[in-house]
Amino acid sequence: MLWLSKRDWGRSIFLGLGSLGALAAIPQNAITEGILDGPVFRAGFYAGTVLMPKETIGGHSLFGLVAVILMLVGFWFVVLCLARRLFVDRTARQLGK
């Protein structure tokens, strides 16, 4: 697990799972319902119904949950890449002066 935290993908996986846990712990409000029951979840749910038509509702919901996790991982990956570019450029400019 230590090697996973050294890469941007690994950090984004940890942050994505942590974000999902934090969203699940928050009492229901408009933000958590928008993410946990929003269009990304529905898209994963419908993909589950197409890929596994004889599965139960719980199985289709698992596809929706995976879609939300992938969305959060992608979000954190983009944030980490942007932060790395901003701060690396800033430190490189300071070293060059």
Per-10-residue mean pLDDT for the chain, 97 residues long? 75 90 80 80 90 83 90 94 81 60
Residues 81 and 8: beta-carbon distance below 8 Å: yes
**Confidence (pLDDT) at 84:** 86
**Confidence (pLDDT) at 91:** 61
pTM exceeds 0.85, yes or no:
no
Joined together, the tokens standing for residue 81 give 């890449």
Nearest to 12 by CA among 58, 52, 69: 69
**Confidence (pLDDT) at 93:** 62
**Confidence (pLDDT) at 90:** 62
**Confidence (pLDDT) at 73:** 94
Total number of domains in the chain: 1
